[in-house]
Amino acid sequence: MSVPIGVALLGSGGSIGRQAIEVLGEMPDAFRIVALATGSQAGLLEEQARRFHPDVVVIADERGAARLDLPSGVARASGADALEAIVAREDVDLVLVATGGLVALRSVLAALGAGKIVATANKETLVAGGHLVMPLARALAERHGADASPLHWLRPIDSEHSAIWQCLVGEDHRAVARLLLTASGGPFIDASVADLATVTPERALRHPTWRMGAKITIDSATLANKGLEIIEARWLYDVPLAAISVVIHPQSVVHSAVQFVDGSIKAQLGTPDMRLPIQYALTYPSRRPSSAAATDLVTAGRLDFRAPDENRFPALRIAREAGLAGPRASTALISSDEVAVARFLAGSLDFQGISRVLEAAVDKFCSGEPREPALEELVDLDWQVRAFAEVAR
């Protein structure tokens, strides 16, 4: 029997983290959880530590770490340096990044730098830091042999990017004509511009098909999420933004597709359940049984597709422009979006105001220097954008 793959799970308390725990719990023969990290959910972390007996757990603040009630043999650590230390541990083979925010980029760079596989659900990693992350993934692939793809080292968990990845297996990059990112369209797919002006947080949080955290659910309603995914796809698959299309597909069964130079399309279909892309990122290139419901075409019945309306959902256009303008504009997009969504949820910004804030932030920060910020410069830019987005109208 082969040795289980050692996993460090960053963000074990969030929506993706808890689903990753479920998936890992079903494959104890293949994976061993070496380290668990969370921001603040001490109770949940203790529970996870009792179930999986990792070597170490990390919680953001020092006082919280000291108070943890852990089984014997489980070490504790705290702070940002602790994350960089655990991802580089010798017994960690794969780092699963389930945290949001630019802060995860530091861990991703540290993990790739230490030669670890990174499976990431974190959008900032690629949207803001694609120019830093992809060269490391490519270098690892080159070092480990001609057949290896950067996608062996940097594995997407986002369902759309997982779908595209699965469609590309066995294909020649030169045969790819277009990536087709599907979007559910969110709860306001048929709403008029006037209707959109009256959207409340409560209505926006009711996503028709996916079970997700609040931030990404609002991003799905504005289509900002799809905009961020266009930029992610551009980095992951090394295709120009002009060759990435968004297709509205309300049933969320086709998770995305690739069109090839002969005009034919390969798509990946599945139940809308994040445990599936999480599992694929862990077991690639193999597949394993899953406790998620199997896809049933007859139950699905019909699959609808239509073009997105960028007049009603301008975030899509703004994101495409940000992607073209480069990493500064993309960072402005993602950082301002976090603030704008929080303001919308708190009632201090209207629904359409989210896109207005994004556009203002991208305009303001796109043209500065350096064009390709290093990590510390990105962190600084993130703060500037956030301060701007807090008061933008």
Identify residues 344-363 at the interface with Mg ion (CB under 5 A). none
Query: Rounded to whole angstroms, how far apart are CA atoms 144 and 158?
Result: 25
CB atoms within 10 A of CB 21: 23
- Closest-approach residue to Mg ion (CB): 158
Query: Rounded to whole angstroms, how far apart are CA atoms 335 and 320?
Result: 16
Q: Which stretch binds Mg ion (CB under 5 A): 35-43, 151-159, 310-318, 368-376?
A: 151-159
Query: Rounded to whole angstroms, how far apart are CA atoms 186 and 30?
Result: 36
* Tokens matching residue 124: 């900032």
Q: Give the dihedral sign, CA 366/370/375/379.
A: negative
Between 65 and 253, CB nearer to Mg ion: 253
Size of the site for Mg ion (CB under 5 A): 3
Q: Cβ of residue 161: shortest distance to Mg ion, in angstroms? A: 7
User: For the chain, first and last CA: distance in Å?
Assistant: 60
Query: Rounded to whole angstroms, how far apart are CA atoms 329 and 323?
Result: 7
Between 12 and 159, CB nearer to Mg ion: 159
- Does residue 273 touch Mg ion according to CB under 5 A? no
Q: Cβ of residue 91: shortest distance to Mg ion, in angstroms? A: 31
Identify residues 156-185 at the interface with Mg ion (CB under 5 A). 158-160
Between 48 and 159, CB nearer to Mg ion: 159
Q: Cβ of residue 212: shortest distance to Mg ion, in angstroms? A: 9
* β-bridge partners, 155: 119
Query: Rounded to whole angstroms, how far apart are CA atoms 223 and 248?
Result: 10
Query: Rounded to whole angstroms, how far apart are CA atoms 294 and 296?
Result: 6
Between 182 and 355, CB nearer to Mg ion: 182
Q: Cβ of residue 226: shortest distance to Mg ion, in angstroms? A: 8
Between 277 and 314, CB nearer to Mg ion: 277
Q: Cβ of residue 255: shortest distance to Mg ion, in angstroms? A: 8
Q: Cβ of residue 181: shortest distance to Mg ion, in angstroms? A: 8
Between 92 and 341, CB nearer to Mg ion: 341
- Residue 379 burial (10 A CB sphere; 0-12, 13-18, 19+): middle
Which residues here bind Mg ion, judged by CB under 5 A?
Answer: 158-160
